[in-house]
Amino acid sequence: MTDAKAAIKRMNAARNFPDGTCPASRHVALMAEALAKKGAYPMLEEDPRHCAESMAATVESLWKARALLDKAGIVWWGVD
């Protein structure tokens, strides 16, 4: 299994729809799946700003979640 396929498999195993997802993270997941399978995602060229907004919102949520885990004393690093 390639690294990309393994990453997609881990991503899909962690998905908890709908509670653990949002529109931005689902969009980023679609981009990752398409890029891993086809090497292209047409919307990246058609509407790169929308793709960038989804990526930024997903990373923002990730970083906020990690900050909350830090405040709660939960060790998250080394998990991904």
Chain segment 31-74, per-residue pLDDT in tens: 999 999 999 999 999 999 999 999 999 999 999 999 999 999 99
Q: Is residue 12 in a domain?
A: yes
pLDDT on residue 68: 95
pLDDT for 46 equals 97
Question: Does residue 20 lie in a domain region?
Answer: yes
Report DSSP state, residue 66: H
Which domain covers residue 37, as residue numbers? 3-71
> What's the one-letter identity of residue 73?
G
* Total tally of structural domains belonging to the chain: 1
Q: Is residue 14 part of a domain?
A: yes
Question: Is residue 76 in a domain?
Answer: no
Alpha carbon distances (Å) from 69 to 44, 52, 66, 74: 32, 26, 5, 5
**Model pLDDT for residues 11-26, shown as the tens digit of each residue:** 999 998 888 899 999 9
State the DSSP code for 72: T
pLDDT at 1 over 70: no
Query: Is residue 79 in a domain?
Result: no
